[in-house]
Amino acid sequence: MKQITVLFFATLRDHMHAKQIELELPADAGVFALKEKLLERNPEAGTVLDIALVSINREYAFDDAFIPAGAEVALFPHVSGG
């Protein structure tokens, strides 16, 4: 198992009811597994988490990215506009 810090920005803070949490994940977990774990904690945030932008240690990442132990993972709501 590994410990990570998860930061939530903008409207994701409201959906997750927190600005930051410490979370334990399996050693081989990546972004997809993190999103699943967050959905277990807060099922109503499903649609927002599905399209959230993710960064690992301040580098943007996709759902298949590995999360190292001790990482800082930030989630941002999807932004669109014109």
In the chain, what are the domain boundaries? 2-76
pLDDT of 46: 84
| Sequence-distant (≥ 6) Cβ neighbours of residue 61 within 8 angstroms | 31, 54, 55
Q: What would the pLDDT profile of 13-62 be if each residue is shown by its tens digit?
A: 999 999 999 999 999 999 999 999 999 999 988 889 989 999 999 999 99
- Supply the CATH classification number for the domain 2-76: 3.10.20.30
pLDDT band at residue 72 under the 50/70/90 scheme:
very high
Q: What pTM was computed for the model?
A: 0.90
| Sequence-distant (≥ 6) Cβ neighbours of residue 34 within 8 angstroms | 4, 6, 23, 25, 54, 67, 73
pLDDT band at residue 80 under the 50/70/90 scheme:
low
